[in-house]
Structure formats: C-alpha cells, structure tokens
Amino acid sequence: MAERFKMVSLVIVGLFLTALGLKFLALHNLTFGGTAGLATVLTFMSSWSWGVLFFLVNLPFFWMSFMKLGKWFTISSFMSIIGISIVRDALDFLPFFSIPMWLATVLAGLCIGFGVTFVLNNGSSLGGIHILALYLDQKWGINRGVSIFISDLSIIVLAGLLVGWGNALLSVFVIFVASTIIGRYKKSPIKVREEQPAFGEAHSRSMNES
C-alpha cells in the first residue's frame, strides 16, 4: 500500500511538472513534440483548449496500450491524461510571471523531462507517443528517449511552418533536454504483454518446470 501511494504521488508530481513546462512554452509560442506538441499545434488553428485537444489526439493510442501494455497501465494513463489536461488548462486562468524566452526553454525542458520521467517510471504515461515509445522500449529495446526525440522532431517541423523556424529551433532544444532526461533516468515498471502460448505448450512448459 505504501509503495502504491508513493507511485501515485510521483505520478501526480510528474503531471504538475509537465503541465508547468508546457505553460512555459506557451508563454512564447513555443511547442513540444508528440501528442502534446500536436495538441499545441492544433491550438494555433482552432479555438479549442489545449486540454480538450490533447485528450482527443490521444484516444487512438489507447487500443495499443490496452492490448500490449495491460489494462491497469491503460487506466492509469487515461487518468493521467485527464489530470494533465485539467491542470494545463487551469494554468491559463491563473496569473503567471513573465520570463525571458531563453529561460522559458531551459525551464520547460527540465520540467517536462523530469515530469514525464516521474510519470513513466511509476506505471503510467501521458499517452500517445509515450505509449508507443514505452512499447518499443520493452519489446525491442529501443531507447524510449530516442523514439520520443524522433517523433517530436517531426511535430516541430509542422510547428515551424505555422509559428516560424526560430521558435521551432528553440523547441527542438527543449525536446533534446527533455528526451535526454527521459532516456537517462528510465526504468521499466511494466512489461509488454506477450502472446499467450497454446494450452498444450503451456501445459508442457509447466510440467518441465516442475
């Protein structure tokens, strides 16, 4: 019970850190990658809030999560996505201090990097690319920091077309910092669900082990 409480607490801390990092980016029309970045890009083209868009773009990834990463991980990720959507939208209604763009990029990279690490290392995720990256890490040993960096870079290219390449390059720096932290401090709290063996094979294996 104490271990479960610790994991949930760290996930909550991770959600707040990540939401804060995303707010730093929004102050200067910077963006991120993955579904968070995609949601940010969509805010440039619509009047919907970031939280609503982030929730919607993550929906297609939940089937993969349920089939490959397990029911409880999927439920935890679903709750995390709802949580960060609410926190991030709430920050738009609170007074926020102004900081230079260079400082915003550094703080955003650190907050998002450690925030996502707390979430991933404690049995949850922020959906989308994080679910895919965690699956690739568990299944084939592809470092999830690398997977996230590549996917994020693709989103940044799209953002550059909308908000300018100067802001896009600064966003790449944020992604690099965050991805480095995520890859450096990773651990694996869950396992990818393998294909279940046939009954005869499973029975034979249990007999041999006994």
Q: Is the pLDDT of residue 55 over 50?
A: yes
- The model's pTM: 0.77
In terms of Cα–Cα distance, which of 162, 170, 194 is closest to 41? 162
pLDDT of residue 206: 43
Query: What mean pLDDT is predicted for residues 59-86?
Result: 83
Average pLDDT over residues 129-143: 79
| Total count of domains within the chain | 1
Instruction: Give 188 or 192, the one with higher predicted confidence.
Output: 188
- Structural domain including 9 reads 2-209
Q: Which amino acid is at 65?
A: S
> Does position 51 have pLDDT exceeding 90, yes or no?
yes
User: How far is residue 169's CA from residue 9's CA, in Å, rounded to a whole number?
Assistant: 34
In which band, very low, low, confident or very high, does the pLDDT at 122 lie, cut at 50, 70 and 90?
A: confident
Q: Of 10, 205, 196, 31, which is closest to residue 121 (Cα–Cα)?
A: 10
CB neighbour class for 93 (10 Å; exposed up to 12, middle 13-18, buried from 19):
exposed
